[in-house]
Amino acid sequence: MTIKRTDHISLNVVDLEEAVRFFTHCGLEVRGRWEIEGTLLDQLLDLQGAKTECVALGVPGEAVWLELVRFQEPHDPSKKMHPVYANGLRHVCFEVTALEVLVNRLANMGYQPIGSIADYERDYRLCYVQGPEGVIVELAEKIDPE
C-alpha cells in the first residue's frame, strides 16, 4: 500500500479566530467549522475529556486543505505538552501570485517577513512570514520564464 494523496495539514493554535483571519487574508476560504469531543476523539488522541474546535480552509478548486484546531480541553496543559495538542508546525508552504503585494498586506497586519524575498534558482520567488502563534508560512511565487 502507498500514499494515495495528501488530504490535509493540521495546525494546532490557541487563537483560532486570529489564525482564520490570517489564512483567509492569504487567500484560503473557510470550508467548514465543527467541534468534536467524546469517545472517538479520546481514543484517537489517547486523552480523557478532549474537546476541540476546528476550521477547515482551502484553496478554491484544490482538494488539499488546512485544518486549524483549537483544544478547548485540555485547556491547561502541563509544562511538558502531549504531542497531540502541542501547538504549531514547522512551516506550511503556499504557491501564491503577487508575492510582494501579499507580503506587504501581511506586514500591514503585523506579520513581518522573517528575511527578504529571495529567488530560488529561476523557478520561484520565496518569502517566509512569521504568522500567528509563531507559525512559519512560506510563500512561493512561480517565476514566469521569459
Residues 6+ apart with CB under 8 A from 56: 8, 30, 31, 32, 33, 65, 66, 67, 68
Q: Supply the pLDDT for residue 22.
A: 96
Report the helix count and the strand count for the chain, using DSSP H and E: 3, 8
Query: Residue 76: what pLDDT?
Result: 53
pLDDT > 80? residue 60: yes
Superfamily of domain 90-146: 2,3-Dihydroxybiphenyl 1,2-Dioxygenase, domain 1 (3.10.180.10)
More confident call, 54 vs 6: 54
66: β partners: 9, 57
| 78-106 residue pLDDT tens | 544 555 556 666 567 788 889 999 999 99
Q: What is the pTM of this model?
A: 0.72
Tell me if the domain spanning 1-74 has CATH number 3.50.50.60.
no
Neighbour count for residue 56 (Cβ, 10 Å):
17
Strand partners, 101: none
CA of residue 52 relative to chain centroid, distance: 16
Backbone angles phi, psi at 91, to 5 degrees: -165, 160
DSSP state string for 116-129? --EEETTTEEEEEE
Mean of pLDDT values over 32-48: 81
User: In the predicted model, is pLDDT for residue 52 greater than 80?
Assistant: yes
Q: How many other CB atoms sit within 10 Å of the CB of residue 122?
A: 8
Q: Which is more confidently placed, 143 or 43?
A: 143
In the chain, domain spans: 1-74, 90-146
Q: Do domains 1-74 and 90-146 have the same CATH topology?
A: yes
User: Distance between CA 101 and CA 103 in Å, rounded?
Assistant: 6
